[in-house]
Structure 1
């Protein structure tokens, strides 16, 4: 086999092909999660008439902990599906585990309480919670008088890639069971429940899904829609209406009403409706229609109301929507934005607070002032409960037998090919070691292994005393933190991640802070062993650095086995929030450039200014925070590695977040500061395109943003995927410079990527180009200033030395960095712009 050497690296052609295939398989797992339809407690498959194929759990691709497979002891009634003939049950807690990617998942749990030779499931009382500690079912029993299955449906937003568990925890002296599980990713617009007053990322349980004016039936996503007749206290107040054809040509939002599509609700929901039953004894000006639903009185609910104007002639019906007597929305507004759009399906989401009456009453009533056709209509209703209950992850007895392996070989066509790939990769690694001795840098001590959303391999560690690493001057008593957060009130929770929940708080001295409290972990809990190293690393890093573009650590607490970090409060939240949250104002291109430049300054300081140099290792849009003035600050240093960056690399366990990980680092396990540069390049592309780094709902070639963006760049089509609000804002020269910077950051070979100092220089230049355009436009109509004068032309800029070569990294302070940049950019001669 011919060995080629280039740029001091060893290349083995066949091995390169194998590495490419392994990377391809990794991309598949990054982008796709399996769809799971599991026949629990059985090896047999069950095909339903609805089209679902439930696979025996031993062959499903999921894994489960120690539990019993039980079978219906009598002959199954003909009316009951074979799916409910078996179950998995235990008197101890057990779980099912799934391989997942980031996204929204629909989870359906199927229960039918039957008796077997070993168990009577009618006596089962148990809880169900997910691996983020949210309770999906509390004190649940499946016993019912109809002998029909109970199906519980949930929507769960998952913000990390890896594994996800559903825990079934029996109450004392009872047992837990489940007959079947559906667990699959769904399009984001399917559950885009975003009422203005709703915050948080709690699971949602479907309580009601009603086809108003139509029959009960299931749609192609196996959602069950029931008829509305049983929910009308006054059946004579309404009558059915229907229409054959819909107008689905409009996409977007009109006056707060969102145009629907087929994944939100099927056509037949909008082709039927309830309208007012107007008679001589029921005049329209004094009538209304009300639906009444019984709900949990101590929970918040989200209501989605579906509308389609199949009633008015000529479509000038204007009416009001109420919940429990409170006006929610005017439908078909007087400014005629909806009126005239014939048969357009749309929906409106809002939140209903807890009510002692345990009822949600939905009413529609004509708007007597604006309507020319006094009527009102409703096509569908969905009511979802916000599941805000939490519980500790139970201790689970693992099976002594081998756990059912996850099906990880499907993408490559079988286990044999995987073996070949692994063998090839091992061969390459050994061959590379023969040809070139790899030295491991003498990095400063790290603590125990752990702390990542992705991990592979074995990482060398040095054991040190945690107390030697702690800054005792930053310690804050647990009692003060409890007081600051009102005992960790869930109403003050502003975020959650792999380490723990984040709360807003105010210290005794009046300082507003963000408090990150680690999840309670044990030897059986998910992510066990990861919290303590992240906690200590964060304190180590942040206690020795200060910079205007790095989040400041206010203090920490390690009392009572707690791991709590207290930071300065960042008023505007994460960069990701401002890219995707439709409730927040969209950032202008100038704001985005300034945010990217600020983040680059922070990372540049980490690489060259902090003592010994620091590699962040988890650069992403959620780890860039914004203060009240939209000043960017880099956050979350739990995965950071510190040490001299003049070494070639350090061999280390791969950690970070899928979609942002440097592919060369993933394959070689050799970390350099250029890994941060790659991740930051993904963030830059995310800022430009306004979409996530990994989006499994998109076509395969578009799922990975870095690959898709670079493909569009090479084809000259990058402008076509720019975030739509920006398309008329960006100066072409600024876009060209910015996109060239992105391309350099995302080079596969780390040696071809720029330093963070070079990235910062390029971003400052892109900002200058954008500001120059603004200055020119401000004067282009002036009769006293020549718009074509040299003062307003785009500058021809000579390449200056990188910032890193003009600054002593060991002694650099924030003010010195800004001074140096000002000196360099003052030579651009562009007015007073920086």
Structure 2
């Protein structure tokens, strides 16, 4: 064993160096709590919380240090921060993504009354309770690390520590850093007490709490040897019957990472070891399945990831076996079908419901189709509890009691000063003669339009009693002066788009953030309802695949919206009539999946449900990594899920409009599904939804696509640049999905959850080397795609929801050169 360790470490190191360049190991946030020293631990620099200005914490707290000078614990466990009242750590998040959050606890020797082992407290974020009545009083003398995976949005992220009555809270170290791209899926198969039950949606809107992380057949993998600083423990203590299994000798050859699997999914040490069936010795138990039993929370849902790497088979395509979960679900595992070669890691994800036993059993066993008799194996396993939202954040007082009098005096002094200044300003305005503002060629230190004025369109309308400022969100309000600074006083050289609403500018805020600034034409009076709708929708929802609203400004007659900047522009610009490099088929699938996730979240994951109402390729934007985000919510409508809105004015973009909505004027989320079906055809064919220069029967892409399907000539309209790179099975599933979205009757269309599942399956089919059946010919062409579907669909639990809507203006005639065409409101009103 010792002789092969150098080789294993060599392969491990080379794998880390050569893994996906799409992810770079982060440098923040790693916090050494209660310390003024920075320390290095396995490639991470833990910053002393007394040193850094990149994060903050409640000052009503105290640092404590290990009183045992001879203590052998790691440096981060020799100090802690103690909170005796509700307190927080606050982090500035610069990128919406899935993050790993780790909390480190260790009860070192500390002076009375701060005996850390007696602490009892809660830990939470703004929406989720992470730990309740947490204590380490009865735990071992080893550090305890609690790990959570959750989506965190751009802006402030707080971790709250709330001590129970007559006690306190503490923490030794904190980690908050982004996970690799697509580390956790949003949808997986769902296994209930009765077996397979469709698919489970919106995983990314929950928190995953790591319960078990197992290196099957191997030794403990510490944070020193894991790509994301995780710890994997041996599986022996979890075996139901140890006689049924034996360790596979550690594999020392090259691991063939491919597709979505990299060292960041699991380190090479996990894939180089395995448990396999014990088929030697002649014992009657040797032919039984290998079963592992895990303690889990009763009657809860868990995210389960099972890791495989065929280091067992002597050659390709000789081993097939079964995976069993909770005794109610069976899946056939064929390594050749998944990865097409030996020593190639792959994995499966599931959401599994536990019962009232508190035990989850997972097994592998033989399959009669296998040429390798009575053999099965497993390399690794992860189980994470799924935690739902649990209310609002605790109230944190940032002021010490001894400073109350000073605070009151300060407030009174400020009010007096404001009063004096108001008198001077009033007298100055009476005496000053009006002077027209002069345009500036470059940014001036003073705002031209009186930035910072409290006079706003909201105030103006409210005073007249004509509207209620129900969209007002002061936390998002940005002074006009800062927006002028960001756009160099709306310099025309920074214009990146123009529409009926006005110009869109590229800008950089004072904090260095790149933004897109949508400004209405001053004094036009146009687009007020769209302005309100954008703020109302985007101020209450956040999702990785929805463009984030950074803020707004409504000073004087201005209506300005500020969004996160999307480096790669619109999806449409990457499909046709542009200078962008051609998107591969895999990239197109990933973009469609991202957009589908965003739309699905609007329909099901947001309060009351939201219908976008204007889904199209120019309203799907791409960031610098080609991650798709849905934009332009000016036409969006929300309401009770049990209502269908009847509108006297059909809104949307011609070519994407749901024909049923056009006829009946009844708007549901299935109208978005139809529009998305048109986008799918745009992605496949690389042409506009409407092209008036084409012959009459080809003008409308949705109609032309379905006509080509019926004639069996679909191959004639597929984008030639990707035609040869598409796996036929992937194309079948994709085209089948588009066809279902474009059904005339909305009742026959799938939900966005179903669409998302089908697209993810199409991507899986594209990524794996699919073993052809005897009747399948390698020359299968696209003309058969819509007429014969060899890929079966999956059931879904998604339910349709009808929405209540208010009439809003159309969005038509989009410019092909706009980088931010999603921010425009067109001339047709």
Structure 2 length-normalised TM? 0.53
Q: Determine the C-alpha separation between the residues in 1 that align with 2:254 and 2:474.
A: 48
With over 3 angstroms needed to count, the CA separation of the structure-2 counterparts of 1:167 and 1:368, relative to structure 1, is: same
2:383 paired with 1:383: yes
Q: Choose which of 139, 156, 160 in structure 2 pairs with 1:167.
A: 160
Q: Which residue of 2 aligns with 1:326?
A: 328
2:468 paired with 1:451: no
With over 3 angstroms needed to count, the CA separation of the structure-2 counterparts of 1:426 and 1:136, relative to structure 1, is: farther
Deviations 1:553-606 (A, max 9, x none): xxxxxxxxxxxxxxxxxxxxxxxxxxxxxxxxxxxxxxxxxxxxxxxxxx9xx9
Contact between 1:317 and 1:374, CA under 8 Å: does it hold in 2?
no
Q: Name the SS of the counterpart of 1:337 in structure 2.
A: helix
Q: Name the SS of the counterpart of 2:46 in structure 1.
A: strand
With over 3 angstroms needed to count, the CA separation of the structure-2 counterparts of 1:140 and 1:819, relative to structure 1, is: closer
Contact between 2:652 and 2:811, CA under 8 Å: does it hold in 1?
no
2:351 paired with 1:351: yes
Q: Choose which of 614, 629, 636 in structure 1 pairs with 2:528.
A: 614
Q: Determine the C-alpha separation between the residues in 2 that align with 1:151 and 1:425.
A: 56
With over 3 angstroms needed to count, the CA separation of the structure-2 counterparts of 1:452 and 1:359, relative to structure 1, is: farther
2:221 paired with 1:217: yes
With over 3 angstroms needed to count, the CA separation of the structure-2 counterparts of 1:282 and 1:715, relative to structure 1, is: farther
Shift, 1:155, TM fit? 0.5
Q: Which residue of 2 aligns with 1:724?
A: 588
Deviations 1:742-764 (A, max 9, x none): 99xxxxxxxxx9x9999957989
Q: Determine the C-alpha separation between the residues in 1 that align with 2:702 and 2:139.
A: 72
Q: Name the SS of the counterpart of 1:230 in structure 2.
A: helix
Contact between 1:321 and 1:329, CA under 8 Å: does it hold in 2?
yes
Q: Which residue of 2 aligns with 1:38?
A: 31
With over 3 angstroms needed to count, the CA separation of the structure-2 counterparts of 1:44 and 1:372, relative to structure 1, is: closer
Shift, 1:56, TM fit? 1.0
Contact between 2:84 and 2:163, CA under 8 Å: does it hold in 1?
yes
Q: Which residue of 1 aligns with 2:444?
A: 428
Q: Determine the C-alpha separation between the residues in 1 that align with 2:114 and 2:710.
A: 87
Q: Name the SS of the counterpart of 2:337 in structure 1.
A: coil
Mark the runs of 5 or more structure 1 residues left unpaired by the alignment. 1-30, 252-258, 403-423, 460-602, 624-634, 641-654, 680-692, 695-702, 729-737, 744-752, 789-812, 821-834
With over 3 angstroms needed to count, the CA separation of the structure-2 counterparts of 1:363 and 1:443, relative to structure 1, is: same
Shift, 1:447, TM fit? 4.1
With over 3 angstroms needed to count, the CA separation of the structure-2 counterparts of 1:170 and 1:137, relative to structure 1, is: same
With over 3 angstroms needed to count, the CA separation of the structure-2 counterparts of 1:780 and 1:86, relative to structure 1, is: closer
Shift, 1:393, TM fit? 2.6
Q: Determine the C-alpha separation between the residues in 2 that align with 1:294 and 1:440.
A: 58
Q: Determine the C-alpha separation between the residues in 2 that align with 1:763 and 1:95.
A: 47
2:43 paired with 1:51: yes
Shift, 1:182, TM fit? 0.6
2:29 paired with 1:128: no
Deviations 1:487-529 (A, max 9, x none): xxxxxxxxxxxxxxxxxxxxxxxxxxxxxxxxxxxxxxxxxxx
Shift, 1:346, TM fit? 0.6
With over 3 angstroms needed to count, the CA separation of the structure-2 counterparts of 1:741 and 1:118, relative to structure 1, is: closer
Contact between 1:273 and 1:377, CA under 8 Å: does it hold in 2?
yes
Contact between 1:126 and 1:171, CA under 8 Å: does it hold in 2?
yes
Q: Which residue of 1 aligns with 2:85?
A: 92
2:567 paired with 1:704: yes
Q: Which residue of 1 aligns with 2:719?
A: none
Contact between 2:80 and 2:172, CA under 8 Å: does it hold in 1?
yes
Q: Which residue of 1 aligns with 2:537?
A: 636
Deviations 1:374-415 (A, max 9, x none): 31000000010112362543222214599xxxxxxxxxxxxx
Q: Determine the C-alpha separation between the residues in 1 that align with 2:134 and 2:88.
A: 16
Q: Which residue of 1 aligns with 2:269?
A: 268
Q: Which residue of 2 aligns with 1:142?
A: 136
Q: Name the SS of the counterpart of 1:398 in structure 2.
A: coil
Q: Choose which of 103, 110, 121 in structure 1 pairs with 2:104.
A: 110
Deviations 1:337-356 (A, max 9, x none): 24852222111111221322
Contact between 1:285 and 1:368, CA under 8 Å: does it hold in 2?
no
Contact between 1:170 and 1:176, CA under 8 Å: does it hold in 2?
yes
Q: Which residue of 2 aligns with 1:245?
A: 253
* Cα RMSD, aligned residues only: 5.3
Deviations 1:635-688 (A, max 9, x none): 838799xxxxxxxxxxxxxx999985799x979978867x67x97xxxxxxxxx
Q: Determine the C-alpha separation between the residues in 1 that align with 2:76 and 2:812.
A: 70
Q: Which residue of 1 aligns with 2:360?
A: 360
Bigger CA drift: 136-145 or 719-728? 719-728
2:237 paired with 1:230: yes
Q: Which residue of 2 aligns with 1:277?
A: 278
Q: Determine the C-alpha separation between the residues in 1 that align with 2:298 and 2:182.
A: 28
Q: Determine the C-alpha separation between the residues in 2 that align with 1:208 and 1:656.
A: 28
With over 3 angstroms needed to count, the CA separation of the structure-2 counterparts of 1:82 and 1:454, relative to structure 1, is: same
Q: Name the SS of the counterpart of 1:616 in structure 2.
A: helix
Q: Determine the C-alpha separation between the residues in 2 that align with 1:108 and 1:155.
A: 9
Contact between 1:318 and 1:330, CA under 8 Å: does it hold in 2?
yes
Q: Name the SS of the counterpart of 2:243 in structure 1.
A: helix
Q: Determine the C-alpha separation between the residues in 1 that align with 2:471 and 2:701.
A: 50
Deviations 1:748-794 (A, max 9, x none): xxxxx9x99999579899433264467667888999xxxx9xxxxxx
Residues matched between the structures, number: 515
Q: Name the SS of the counterpart of 2:690 in structure 1.
A: helix
5 Å-filtered alignment, 1:64-75, equals 64-72=57-65, 74-75=67-68
Deviations 1:786-825 (A, max 9, x none): xx9xxxxxxxxxxxxxxxxxxxxxxxx97998999xxxxx
5 Å-filtered alignment, 1:288-307, equals 288-307=289-308
Shift, 1:238, TM fit? 1.3
Structure 1 length-normalised TM? 0.52
